[in-house]
Structure 1
Amino acid sequence: MGAYLYLALAIAAEVTGTVSLKLSDGFSRLLPSVLVVVGYGVAFFALSQVLKLGLPIGVAYAIWAAAGVALVALVGVLFLKEPVNLAMLSGLVLVVGGVVLIEVGSNA
């Protein structure tokens, strides 16, 4: 499996773990609580494989973190009925834009 495939797995698992953290209600609900532990475990394992395959840590972590932030925010708005406003959307655009600059800079 290539580095970017592992990175996609790490992102999906981290988003699953984070959304499950919200749904666990302070670890008082069993299934979401288990998904938190499994999600983060898979996320960190997959991220370790990304680094082992040679993707620079700054690039890998920036993509992982920014994609996670953006996807968790999207899930919050679409499925958890959390509010969204222009300031939040602007912040997400800046985060993603920052990652693009890190990626471009690492290839220069």
Structure 2
Amino acid sequence: MKKWAFLAAAIGLEVTGSLSLKAALDAPAFYLPVVVGYVASFLALFMALRGGMGLGVGYGIWGASGVALTAVMSLLVFGEPITPLMALGIVLVMGGVLLVELGSQAAQKNSDRDRKAAR
């Protein structure tokens, strides 16, 4: 369960870093949260992977969720529009992440079954 907490932290930190990057265009003091957010995000992702999360699952969820959340938060914080095409892209990203996770779970079950059969 810790690996999921680390992944959630990695996503939140990456989104914070990205939003801060936009804010830093007008207020250079935001470059500090950019650097801290990105470095801490990679460390949290590392900890999720170290905790046993598969790379494809962890990186896929981290990247896709970061894109979707950054787009939504940009709307809320900066008033940037989300067009219908962008909204469709966010939905497709979320669907892709779900499929990767479901595929990973199925692969893990098959691997566990094969190990038991080999004994």
Q: Structures share a fold, TM > 0.5? A: yes
- CA shift, 1:70, in A, is 1.0
State the one-letter code of the partner of 2:63.
A
1:102 has 2:93 as partner: no
1:55 has 2:53 as partner: yes
Residue pairs, 1:1-108, within 5 angstroms: 2-25=2-25, 29-30=28-29, 32-108=30-106
Q: In 1, Cα distance between the equivalents of 2:74 and 2:16?
A: 12
SS of aligned partner of 1:107 = helix
Deviations 1:70-95 (A, max 9, x none): 11001111120111111000000001
Structure 2: gaps of 5 or more residues = 107-119
Q: In 2, Cα distance between the equivalents of 1:92 and 1:84?
A: 10
- CA shift, 1:99, in A, is 0.6
- Which structure carries more helix by proportion? 2
Q: In 2, Cα distance between the equivalents of 1:19 and 1:91?
A: 19
Deviations 1:3-59 (A, max 9, x none): 000001101100000000111118x612x1000000001100000001111100000
Q: Size of the alignment, in residue pairs?
A: 106
Structure 1: gaps of 5 or more residues = none
Normalising to structure 2: TM-score of the pair?
A: 0.85
Identity %: 46
Q: In 2, Cα distance between the equivalents of 1:84 and 1:15?
A: 17
Q: In 1, Cα distance between the equivalents of 2:62 and 2:36?
A: 17
Instruction: Kindly indicate whether structure 1 or structure 2 has the higher relative contact order, using CA contacts under 8 Å at least 6 residues apart.
Output: 1
**RMSD of aligned alpha carbons:** 1.3
Divergent runs of 4+, >6 A: none
State the one-letter code of the partner of 1:64.
W
